[in-house]
Amino acid sequence: MITELREIHLPLVAPFQTSFGVQTSRRILLVRALVDGTEGWGECVAPDEPTYSAEYVDGAWAVSVDHLLPRLGGVERATDVAGALEDVKGHPMAKAAVEMAFLDAELRAAGTSFAARLGVTRDRVPSGVSVGIHESVAALERAVAGYLGDGYVRIKLKIEPGWDLEPVAAIRRLIGPGVPLQVDANTAYTRDDTEHLHRLDEFDLLLIEQPLPEDDLLGHAALARAATTPICLDESLVSLTSVSDAIEIGACEVANIKPGRVGGYLAAVAIHDLCRQRGVPVWCGGMLETGIGRAANAALAALDGFTMTGDISASRRFYARDIVTAPIDVVDGHVAVPVGPGFGFELDLAFLDEVTTARIEV
């Protein structure tokens, strides 16, 4: 078994601003695993900086080289990867990328798609778009109008203190009462903002995502009791236990599932199963993935419990050119569930080499 780590650099089509910063390009870590002669690829969703969660590209690279890949001796199946890496605390995004490469290789060797392995029957999933903080409400309105023109069936607005009631009101007015709308604060508020956040209730939002810090489950439970807009957790959901506890105390009325944040696609499926059993609706989040992660997310989101529209947008929402030969497209408001072996993408190897900034074999 051979593994390779690569770092690539891709410019974003436009700056993407959230409550924790502005992104204009992305460094992305990829993992390649050669398992019994079959190649598989995984994508690490860790951002450049540790501002969404504790993970970041250089940290993921270091822990992969020094602690994860050396633990893979003897691992032959994707289902054994998480156990082999269990002694290493944290670093779920780095671990998820490694497991992903094994899963892709294993499925390709078997000629099976990830969708078939999951047993999903849907052949497409609805596509939502996450819209960053803009320099003015007018600029935001232009961006949202463009995305509606692209066919996206659900809009998510990034909010922060000072950029919330006014842009949300303007966009609700622009799109009318029929278009599903939700907001994401990426932990930008505090418990003292409770009264203020309740003023979002009048805009008929599907949910408010992660208003409070990652570790403030009780704060989210208190907000959920007081507000009518459902509370959805993202950053707080780091494991099956954290999801189970958050649901139990009433902090998580809706769950955003991101495989990278919970240590991999297999853990994500287990969390989906738990939420389904508890009657909590889930949707698939996004981390500005390339066509690798986007393809995998489209299959995951076809599971029955994913009853809400995810942040699985077209490749061109973020990248002018993707590293896969068939970029993810939005057709009639939906993204197709890949049918090819593994995660179903094919890499554009020449372009991949062009954008590769570092490479190591371990």
Contact residue for ligand NPQ among 23, 229, 242, 315 (CB under 6 A): 23
Using the rule CB under 6 A, is 289 a contact of ligand NPQ? no
Listed ranges 33-41, 142-150, 167-175, 284-292: which one lies at the site for ligand NPQ (CB under 6 A): 284-292
> What is the 8-class DSSP label of residue 309?
-
Q: Binders of Mg ion among 128-187, rule CB under 5 A?
A: 184
Is 258 catalytic? The answer is yes
| Residues in region 214-273 near ligand NPQ by CB under 6 A | 234
What's the CA gap between 196 and 12, in Å, rounded?
Answer: 33
Shortest approach of ligand NPQ to residue 262 CB, angstroms?
14
Coil, strand or helix at 320: coil
Using CB under 6 A as the binding rule, whether residue 297 contacts ligand NPQ is answered as: no
Residue 7 CA to chain centroid, in angstroms?
A: 19
Structure tokens that stand for 277 in this block: 């059993």
Question: Bridge partners of 190?
Answer: none
- d(Cα 262, Cα 265) in Å, to the nearest integer? 8
Note whether 311 binds ligand NPQ by CB under 6 A: yes
Specify the residue, 10 or 267, whose C-beta has the smaller distance to ligand NPQ. Answer: 10
By CB under 6 A, residue 211 contacts ligand NPQ: no
Examine residue 311 and tell whether it contacts Mg ion (CB under 5 A).
no
Residue 33 φ then ψ, to 5°: -125, 135
Q: Residue 18's binding partner, choosing from Mg ion, ligand NPQ, none, with beta-carbon cut-off 5 to 8 A by kind?
A: ligand NPQ
Choose the one of ligand NPQ, Mg ion, none that binds residue 26, judging by a C-beta under 5 to 8 angstroms depending on kind.
Answer: ligand NPQ
* Residue 288 beta carbon to ligand NPQ: minimum distance, rounded to whole angstroms: 4
d(CA 131, CA 119): 32
Residue 49 near residue 358 (C-beta atoms within 8 A): no
Q: Which one, of 26, 23, 91, lies nearest residue 59 by Cα?
A: 91
Active site residue 158: yes
Whether residue 164 contacts residue 181, with contact meaning beta carbons closer than 8 Å, is answered with: no
Q: Which window, 138-146, 283-291, 302-310, 323-331, contacts ligand NPQ (CB under 6 A)?
A: 283-291
Round to the nearest angstrom and report the end-to-end CA distance of the chain. Answer: 10
Beta-ladder partners of 154: 128
Residues making contact with ligand NPQ (CB under 6 A): 16, 18, 23, 26, 47, 52, 130, 184, 186, 234, 285-288, 311
Catalytically active residues, by annotation: 158, 258
